[in-house]
Amino acid sequence: MSSKITWPVPDPAAPPEAHPALVSAALSAARAYGEARAEHTRGELAESSRTGADGTATMRVDELVEGAIADTARRHRVNLLSEEVGFVDNASALTMVVDPVDGSNNAASGVPLSCFAGVMVEDGVPTEALTCWLDTGRCWHAIVGEDTAYRTSGRTELDGAALGLLRPHPEIGRSWWHLAERAERVRVLGTTCLEAALVAEGSFDAFVDPGNDAHRIVDLAAALVMVPAAGGVVRDVFDRPLEIDTDLTRRWSGVVAATPELAERIIETVRG
Amino acid sequence: MSSKITWPVPDPAAPPEAHPALVSAALSAARAYGEARAEHTRGELAESSRTGADGTATMRVDELVEGAIADTARRHRVNLLSEEVGFVDNASALTMVVDPVDGSNNAASGVPLSCFAGVMVEDGVPTEALTCWLDTGRCWHAIVGEDTAYRTSGRTELDGAALGLLRPHPEIGRSWWHLAERAERVRVLGTTCLEAALVAEGSFDAFVDPGNDAHRIVDLAAALVMVPAAGGVVRDVFDRPLEIDTDLTRRWSGVVAATPELAERIIETVRG
């Protein structure tokens, strides 16, 4: 009964000032995803044949999109650090840190919530980030040290907040539910990069992994640039340093929040 | 700190064969929503000054969009049954049953998941439905008795299913969690009409209100046409008949599922 996803994938509306390698990578990702949807059924997009560099199964949709991005990185002569392939050395001081398809399950099933997210890193230091919502072409861009057009909500209190939460895993049920009870609104979109972008622009007050250690650095790298530029913070529930590392098996429980105060309230609640 | 939502709202891509009153209403809704976003901050869009016909607070965004739809209904000389205003008699045998902004909280905060949903009803019997995702212009259309281009996933088992769930209310925590534990994937999008459309096209296996009685008939009317046309079913957890009624204070706990078998598994689990 598995069918194709019929809606087309638009080219991303990346801003002209973004780094050419990021713009090309986002465009390649969107086109490869569009072709994958046209050629494969939902079931085929979700099939996995191997384990990626991050230690999780690689879906066909991830593989096809990452392949297109790897070609782009080679053409632009920048290194690549990506979910499935790991670190690809193209002999550059610049590395593009990428989540090719954030929200792979959504992307494979046709839930229109999946993103390309890329960060330029120069000698280990992030310089700019681009997140593109693949299903709509909408993009968020930020450069370290420069103001962005969007601002977080500025909220400091957890009670009454609008939260994006990681999906409810049984192991973290208690802290998940504590957050849900204190929040005014809860959403579970299944795409960290889009949820972080919604925090950056003030539509969510925060996005939280309540202790499940589901986040790899590729999931959080764009937020590390974009959210502070908009007035917010990115932290780990267990206060481990968030750093770009080529070891993609490392995990964090990310808290992306409108303000440092709100992040603190959330972390207290999860640690309970 | 409340800011405006800067992304534009496109005209909906309604199919040419849809009823002209539905197409006009969807277009009016999208344009009114776009103007509301351009003129008002998030905080202003969420402000409510009165109680609607459904017994809940009317947000400014609901009021502005519904006003535009009411003008359209008058111009097309069809009656209107809508969330805030209730039943408007324009002396026709046709009634347009509308949820002007499904996902009002998303619409007011800038979470890009809100819909117009309308159903044509002739002497009490639904004939066709149109759901338009306001943030992207994407539409789903179905005519009673005619096949649709999309099909549900066909899934019959709950274990391993991909579910959309109503947001977790404390009163229904137990059944909410039971469903979440048996599902493979859980999403909470906060917009029943979009979640029902995703069931119709096979991206979600089901969407469920696990006993919170949050659904009014305007939330479920489009699903009642669209989901059976795609092979699925719409039921109430407590087996109350789902019927078009001008009393908008009536409530249901809707189960929108890919198959009758899956709906039955979900209802058993909630009643548990």
- Closest alpha carbon within chain A to B185: A167
Residues of chain B with CATH 3.40.190.80: 162-271
Per-chain mean pLDDT for chain B? 95
Residue B187 touches chain A, beta carbons under 8 Å:
yes
Query: Is A169 or A128 the better-scoring residue by pLDDT?
Result: A128
A13 touches chain B (CB under 8 A): no
Residue A77 confidence (pLDDT) above 60: yes
Residue A213: what are its φ and ψ, rounded to 5°? 50, 50
Residue ranges matching CATH 3.30.540.10 in chain B = 20-143
Mutate to test the interface with A, among B203, B208, B259, B262 (most CBs of A within 10 A): B203
CB contact (8 A) between residue A105 and residue B185 = yes
Report the residue from B111, B151, B173 with minimal CB separation from A204. Answer: B111
CATH class (in words) of the domain with range A162-271: alpha beta
Alpha carbons A224 and A237: distance in angstroms, whole number: 15
**What is the rounded CA–CA span in Å between residue A253 and residue B107?**
29
Question: What mean pLDDT value characterizes chain A?
Answer: 95
ipTM of the complex: 0.96
Asked if the model's pLDDT at residue B1 lies above 60, the reply is: no
For residue B20, give both structure tokens. 């002209």
Q: Given this model, what pLDDT does residue B170 score?
A: 80
> Which of B155, B177, B185 is the closest to A173 by Cβ?
B177
pLDDT of residue A112: 98
> A125-129, A137-141, A217-221, B171-175 — which is least confidently predicted?
B171-175
**How much is the pLDDT for A18?**
97
Answer yes or no: do B202 and A155 touch at CB < 8 A.
no
Give A198 to chain B, closest Cα distance, Å.
7
Check if A188 contacts B (Cβ < 8 Å): yes
Residue A230, chain B, CB below 8 Å: the answer is no
The mean per-residue pLDDT over the stretch B50-77 comes to 94
Going by C-alpha positions, the residue among B178, B54, B203, B138 that lies closest to residue A9 is: B138
Q: Is A94 an interface residue toward B (CB < 8 Å)?
A: no
Name the CATH topology of A20-143: Fructose-1,6-Bisphosphatase; Chain A, domain 1 (3.30.540)
> So what's the pLDDT on residue A169?
84
pLDDT tens column, B13-63: 999 999 999 999 999 999 999 999 999 999 999 999 789 888 888 999 999
Per-residue pLDDT tens digits for B129-163: 999 999 999 999 999 989 888 999 999 999 999 99
Give yes or no for B57 touching A (CB within 8 A): no
Q: Which residues of B touch A203 (CB under 8 A)?
A: 5, 42, 109-112
Residue B49's pLDDT is: 79
Please report the pLDDT score of residue A1 as a whole number. 56
